[in-house]
């Protein structure tokens, strides 16, 4: 028997077909214990089950079925095209469940689920936290330009964490000016493992500038203090996530790549978290296509499309990652930067050069990951 499951947030539609592709039963289940037990009543050990990957909604049901039955995911893009071909004029949950069951009868390739779900969740939470941190840094600097504009103009505040701790204790130029040099210095280094650029002379100069500040004296600091606390919260969260990601990626076969040039905890965790086992891709072309960096082609007879674009049908997180990796290689002038500039000098548009370099980095990543299984 073939069982197709169309998963949504609180319920799923189920369709079971026999070997002759005839419908045995169609029904709906809720995502609770009773619903899962209702589904199990209609299943046998010979039943082949498949479902689409729908964010986090399919995980509980998949976890319940795995180990007991033959269950797998189907490719969403292929499933969409299959449904358009077999049910072009109907689109609802029942039809989708039936289409998945019919898809199984053709014995197309199924997708094994990504095994590093925890690493994938950590990576995506990391990027969301970085985005929030960036927003609060912008808010912090906007309010700082009102309260103490000279601080950003005359002092090194890249170490925002240390400055934030100091400003929580002394939020205004007046409070800074009234404190002693030693108090300001201790407030700066109190939460740091190393003093970095902060010295007693730094604190002395800071107090001198605070005395001459033209910031708004009576500006309320309540919102400013809450912004500082939010900034510190997200900074600590980002640091903790980065350490946890590094620990998790070291537990995988790909951990040794952390010692290779071009990879760090964030980039390697992003790749491994999104793809799981690289051996699921039989060649580098499929890996590149999964990322969405493959080029579309339109050709018929003697007609050939001049403007070809990347498909963007793959994983947007990995596509964004490899694009950013190109920027890092350009900054450090590596051999991939030389490849980029060679394309640019030949007359290619800068964005096309970026995509070509990102594709080259993706191919390199595929073979680096594959090498970890051959060691």
pLDDT score recorded for residue 62: 84
Distance CA 152, CA 148 (A): 8
Element (H, E) at 206: helix 200-211
Distance CA 367, CA 363 (A): 7
Q: What does residue 22 show for φ and ψ, rounded to 5 degrees?
A: -95, 145
Element (H, E) at 160: helix 160-169
Pairing state between β 48-52 and 2-7 = parallel
pLDDT score recorded for residue 242: 94
pLDDT score recorded for residue 90: 78
Q: What is the number of other CB atoms lying within 10 angstroms of the CB of residue 260?
A: 11
| Pair 271, 369: CB distance under 8 Å | yes
Is the pTM of the predicted complex or chain greater than 0.85? Answer: no
pLDDT score recorded for residue 195: 52
pLDDT score recorded for residue 308: 65
pLDDT score recorded for residue 114: 46
pLDDT tens digits, one per residue of 186-236: 888 887 766 566 788 888 888 998 998 888 888 888 999 999 999 999 999
What tokens appear for 237 in the block? 């969260």
Q: What is the number of other CB atoms lying within 10 angstroms of the CB of residue 265?
A: 19
Distance CA 227, CA 224 (A): 5
Distance CA 7, CA 25 (A): 17
pLDDT score recorded for residue 302: 65
From the DSSP assignment, how many helices (H) and strands (E) are in the chain? Answer: 16, 7
Q: Which of 254, 306, 257 is nearest to 275 (CA)?
A: 254
What tokens appear for 115 in the block? 């095994």
Task: Identify the segments of the chain with pLDDT beneath 70.
Answer: 55, 107-116, 155-159, 193-197, 296-311, 375
DSSP letters, 131-157, are HHHHHHHHHHHHHHHHH-HHHHHHS--
Question: DSSP secondary-structure letter at 32?
Answer: S
Please give the domain boundaries of the chain with CATH numbers for all domains: 2-105 (3.30.420.40), 119-244 (1.10.287.4070), 259-374 (no CATH)
| Pair 11, 96: CB distance under 8 Å | no
pLDDT score recorded for residue 71: 83
What tokens appear for 189 in the block? 């280094």
pLDDT tens digits, one per residue of 87-138: 777 788 888 888 888 888 876 655 555 455 788 889 999 999 999 999 999 9
């Amino acid at each position: 028997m073939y069982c197709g499951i169309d998963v949504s947030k609180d319920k799923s539609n189920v369709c079971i077909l026999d070997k002759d592709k005839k419908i045995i039963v169609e029904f709906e289940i809720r995502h609770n214990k009773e619903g899962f037990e209702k589904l199990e009543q209609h299943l046998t050990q010979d039943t082949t089950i498949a479902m689409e990957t729908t964010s986090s909604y399919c995980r509980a049901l998949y976890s319940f079925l795995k180990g007991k039955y033959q269950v797998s995911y189907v490719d969403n893009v292929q499933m969409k095209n299959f449904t358009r071909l077999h049910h072009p004029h109907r689109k609802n949950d029942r039809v989708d469940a039936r289409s998945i069951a019919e898809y199984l009868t053709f014995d197309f390739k199924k997708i094994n689920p990504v095994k590093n779900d925890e690493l994938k969740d950590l990576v995506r939470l990391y990027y969301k936290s970085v985005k929030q941190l960036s927003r609060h840094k912008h808010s912090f600097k906007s309010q700082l330009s009102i309260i103490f504009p000279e601080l950003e103009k005359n002092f090194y505040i890249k170490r925002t964490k240390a400055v934030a701790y100091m400003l929580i204790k002394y939020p205004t130029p007046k409070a800074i000016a009234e404190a002693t040099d030693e108090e300001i210095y201790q407030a700066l280094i109190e939460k740091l493992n190393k003093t970095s650029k902060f010295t007693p002379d730094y604190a002395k100069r800071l107090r001198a500038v605070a005395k001459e500040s033209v910031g708004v004296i009576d500006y309320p600091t309540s919102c400013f203090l809450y912004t500082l606390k939010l900034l510190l919260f997200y900074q600590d969260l980002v640091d903790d996530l980065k350490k946890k990601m590094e620990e998790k990626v070291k537990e995988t076969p790909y951990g040794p790549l952390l010692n290779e040039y071009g990879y760090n905890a964030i980039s390697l965790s992003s790749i491994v978290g999104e793809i799981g086992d690289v051996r699921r891709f039989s060649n580098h072309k499929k890996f590149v296509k999964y990322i969405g960096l493959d080029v579309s082609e339109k050709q018929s007879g003697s007609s050939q499309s001049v403007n070809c674009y990347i498909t963007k049908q793959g994983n947007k997180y990995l596509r964004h990652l490899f694009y950013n990796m190109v920027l890092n290689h350009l900054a450090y002038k590596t051999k991939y930067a030389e490849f980029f500039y060679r394309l640019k000098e030949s007359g290619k548009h800068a964005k096309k050069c970026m995509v070509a370099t990102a594709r080259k980095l993706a191919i390199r990543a595929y073979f680096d990951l594959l090498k970890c299984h051959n060691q």
